[in-house]
Amino acid sequence: MTGRTAALVDRAIDAYQRRLSPRKGWGCAHRVAHGGPSCSGAVRTLVRCRGVTRSVVPTVVRFVACYQAARMLAQTDVSGVCCCGGIPIPFRFPGR
């Protein structure tokens, strides 16, 4: 993949962060559980530093960690949806 592809992915993530993420009403489960950047921020940094191809595996690892954070948060009184790209992973405290 070329630098153009990385730039395109970076612009897509930027658009998501500016236009969609603020309107969705929940935060990244990984960020809520562990602090630091959201998944979109972490993936954007990966793509900028490593390019698209070399970011695939670390991105999948991050999304799995976010899913695990969502499962952990489901055991608490925190609720929302993990922001794993286009795949929302809901987490809720039972009975809420």
> Going residue by residue through the chain (96 aa), what tens digit of pLDDT does each one get?
578 999 999 999 999 999 988 887 778 889 988 889 999 999 999 999 999 999 999 999 999 999 999 888 878 765 555 555 555 555 554 544
Which residues make Cβ contacts (< 8 Å) with residue 78, sequence separation at least 6?
Answer: 32, 91, 93
- State the burial class of residue 41 (Cβ atoms within 10 Å of its Cβ: 0-12, 13-18, 19+): middle
